[in-house]
Amino acid sequence: LTGSSREQRAFQYVLAHAIPGDPHHILQTFDQWFVGAERHMPCHATSGRIVERVLLERAPLRVLELGTYCGYGTVLLAQGLPPGARLYTIEGDPRHAAVAEKVIRLAGFSEQTVELIVGPSEEVIPCLREKHGLMKADFVFMDHWKRCYLRDLRLLESHQMLAEGATILADNVLFPGAPHFLQYAKTCGKYHCKVHRASLEY
């Protein structure tokens, strides 16, 4: 109604109500906004607990996120990283990236901890090693366009970007769904697969 995007409205709400430098409180404030002000936007609390649990189990030092959006998942990932870890997050939409950059820095994460890369994932992935210094990822979180999941997984494989024993966590694979990605992951023989059950949207 105001002419601003819902991502910008969400950030303005977080800026007004969240405690700067407190990632947990920023996520809580986002959840309040998603549930109260913008009911058509999903609350990520359910899938967030899954991410937190897997991060705690794996303790990865090099994390790659595909699909930054407005930075909620990035803050969630960053707050669960062990000391000395680094997160690389890729967002294809410059408008979303501009909001996410503010959210990430408001949460207290510097560029040394979280690097936001703007550009299509299919163009960024082949350049991660040379341009951004990411040799191999221990943990990959996919939360971008579902039709890109399989393409980008194969890109990561072909450019040898996955460390031995790497974990790949992909959101929304059942609904709206990424059937080709699931089929490949289950049948190619490279991965042990597990489906984490959550509410319908996750």
Annotated catalytic residue 152:
no
Q: Which of 43-47, 102-106, 194-198 has the highest mean pLDDT?
A: 102-106
Please report which helix (H) or strand (E) contains residue 89, including its range: strand 86-91
Q: Identify the CA nearest to 148 among candidates 128, 109, 121, 110.
A: 121
* pLDDT given for residue 28 in this prediction: 92
Distances (CA, A) of 15 to 19, 74, 99, 159: 8, 17, 11, 39
- Residue 120, preceding peptide bond in cis (omega within 30° of 0): no
Band of residue 81 on the pLDDT scale cut at 50, 70, 90: very high
Choose the catalytic residue: 91, 101, 143, 152. 143
Amino acid at 165: G
Band of residue 175 on the pLDDT scale cut at 50, 70, 90: confident
* pLDDT given for residue 48 in this prediction: 79
Choose the catalytic residue: 123, 171, 186, 190. 171
Annotated catalytic residue 171:
yes
Choose the catalytic residue: 91, 138, 146, 152. 146
| Structure tokens belonging to residue 16 | 């007004």
**All domains in the chain, ordered by first residue:** 42-188 (3.40.50.150)
Give the whole-angstrom CA distance, residue 77 versus residue 180: 26
pLDDT > 70: percent of the chain: 90
CA angle 125, 51, 58 (to 5 degrees): 80
Choose the catalytic residue: 38, 52, 136, 172. 172
pTM assigned to the model: 0.91
Give the whole-angstrom CA distance, residue 88 versus residue 133: 10
CA 68 from chain center: how many Å?
5
| Structure tokens belonging to residue 109 | 């994460």
Annotated catalytic residue 172:
yes
* pLDDT given for residue 80 in this prediction: 93
Annotated catalytic residue 93:
no
Q: Which of 7-11, 33-37, 101-105 has the highest mean pLDDT?
A: 101-105
Average pLDDT over the chain, rounded to whole? 90
Choose the catalytic residue: 22, 31, 38, 201. 201
Note whether 166 and 139 are within 8 A (CB).
yes
For residue range 17-61, what is the model confidence (pLDDT) as tens digits? Answer: 999 999 999 999 998 887 766 554 544 566 678 889 999 999 999
